[in-house]
Amino acid sequence: MSSAPDTGLHVAVLGAGAWGTALASAACAHASTMLWARDPVLAERLRTEHVNTRYLPGVPLPDALRFTASLPQAIEHVTAGSVPGLIILGVPIAGLRRACQDVATQLTRIGRPAAGLVWTCKGMEADTGLLPSEIAHQALGDHSGLATGVLSGPSFAKEVACGLPVALTVASQDEALRIATIQALHGGAMRVYASTDVVGVEVGGALKNIIATACGIADGLELGTNARAALITRGLAEMSRFGEALGAMPATFSGLTGLGDLVLTATGELSRNRQVGVEIGRGRSLPAILAGGLTAEGARCARAVLKRAQALGVDLPITQAVCEVLYGGVAPKDAVTRLLARVATTE
């Protein structure tokens, strides 16, 4: 069995879904890496088979990658290197609060520092409308001084796991955390760029899923590629307005975590958010789609985004139309008609 390079950096990826597994596989090339799975059965299958048949079937995992169902063991692994290690939270936004609380508990127990933690989830908390960084600040409590950041960008987990080219952005106010994340992941087919605009990166991740759902609805209605291009472009304008109202840097939305991720999610065949929209456009109901196992963050966070935007006085017509279709009983064709009937404005 091959071993990870001795860089002194230890990485723990918490969450053995498709994206967590893909990132753990990439980190193995640069650091001693352990992947934590909440389900002990899954962890044991990963250890014995070195394939995540549940989330990435047919994709072999690196021999050097280690697995555990013990969160204390995963955090101990991070703090056992010769330099402060990196925790990557590969959990959905619904699990972020609990994950941060659990990490804080373990770091207190161990009493040794980590370089910090980065999360990969996209969206806003459904009941509070908070961004991931706001959730983490609340959940970490006495560890609010722990360096934190977000890792995002146009990426499908399966392509990353297969070693295909990808470019991501790590955003954090802490330079050491940005450096540690780049050290853990940058190289080979993966490029990682640094940013300080945490809010901008998170807003891009939330809004692009909603706009992708809108594009899927248009595709399901067979409205053509002109309509899709219009939705992407005007969706980018919504993303920018909302982000700037929250203090984001305008330039962020023309980069990987804005335009880049939006184009991928709105057009890619592997996009779950787009696929939910396609099914809606073809006449299926959201409950029926979700019951069939197809989930997407755009549908989960659309109402939270719209509510927060309204509180800020920010107009998000596409997001509002998606909410009306998903939750207001408005037929997709009627929502499109309403969008087309809006008064013309300057771009």
SS3 letters across 209-272: HHHHHHHHHHHHCCCCHHHHHHHHHHHHHHHHHHHHHCCCCHHHHHCHHHHHHHHHHHHCCCCH
Q: Which of 247, 269, 270, 233 is nearest to 201 (CA)?
A: 247
Tokens for 217? 């609805």
Tokens for 7? 């860089």
Distance of CA 176 to the CA centre of its chain: 22
Q: Which of 122, 158, 208, 307 is catalytic?
A: 208
Tokens 């295909």 belong to: 164
CA distance 38 to 91: 10
CA distance 117 to 125: 19
CA-based end-to-end distance of the chain? 58
Give the strand pairing for 86-89 and 66-68.
unpaired
CA distance 206 to 39: 27
Task: Establish whether 122 is a catalytic residue.
Answer: no
Q: How far is residue 321 from each of residues 147, 275, 312, measured CA to CA in Å?
A: 38, 17, 18
State the DSSP H helix or E strand holding residue 48, giving kind and residue range, or none if neither: helix 40-49
Kindly report the number of other CB atoms within 10 A of residue 84's CB atom.
19
Query: Hey, which residues are catalytic here?
Result: 208
